[in-house]
Amino acid sequence: MKAFIFAAGLGTRLFPYTKSTPKALVPLQGKPMLGHLIMKLKSFGITDIIINIHHFGEQIISYLEENKNFGCNIIISDERDELLDTGGGLKKALQLLDEKEDLLVHNVDILTDFDLKKMISQHRNSNAKVSLLVQKRSTSRYLLFNEFNKLCAWTNIKTKETKPENINIEGYQLFAFNGIHIINKSTLPYFNKENAFPIIPIYIEMSQKEEIQAMEIEDSFWMDLGKPEAIDKANKWLSK
């Protein structure tokens, strides 16, 4: 299985770390978070990796060259001319796959000890076109799943907005998305927008016709590295 790392974000929440450095190269225990993630993917046997770049993208290219791509086959998806958001970035990556090939998608700023083999195995043994890593945690935006862990809708509980509109959220399981997913290239026709667009509305539209399933994190460590205070916590966890 190939992997796609979202590394093109501006990292505005991580300022001042990202004032002169891309988010992907912010260090954890002396090593850029991108390096930690590539080594994690290698530990699961994934060595074909697509990485998108935008903010200080040339620094990421230089870092990979200096480390000889960590012994991996790495393809750069260059978004330096235009940041494509999650949907546009994923669409560009899917176009690099073989027909009906699966792709593991991982945000660069997610730190977890979750066993990716479990997710890959569940996805391969299901009829799902997309598998989403989720968690029961406090947030304002939730994905809604039925009793069979099938994605049905999305909601923002603060604004009361829902997709599809006017859906009654009662009776659904509310999960927060954890920034890791597996998607099959056969879904590419749903990515029918141009340039930059977010991925979640695409998944909600897709869920009305295709199976998108949840994989729940329960006992594993998981952290969003998007804010400066998270870097300190991550360093303490890694030091253990």
Model confidence over 20-69: pLDDT tens digits?
Answer: 999 999 999 999 999 999 999 999 999 999 999 999 999 999 999 999 99
Give the pLDDT band (50/70/90) at residue 166. confident
For the chain, the domains span 2-239
Domain 2-239: give its CATH superfamily: Spore Coat Polysaccharide Biosynthesis Protein SpsA; Chain A (3.90.550.10)
Predicted model pTM: 0.95
Pairing of strands 212-216, 48-53: unpaired
Is pLDDT of 240 > 90?
Answer: no
Is pLDDT of 97 > 90?
Answer: yes
Q: How far is CA 239 from each of CA 30, 219, 235, rounded to the nearest angstrom?
A: 11, 20, 6
Contact 225, 110 (CB under 8 A): yes
- pLDDT reported for residue 218: 85
Mean pLDDT of 199-206: 96
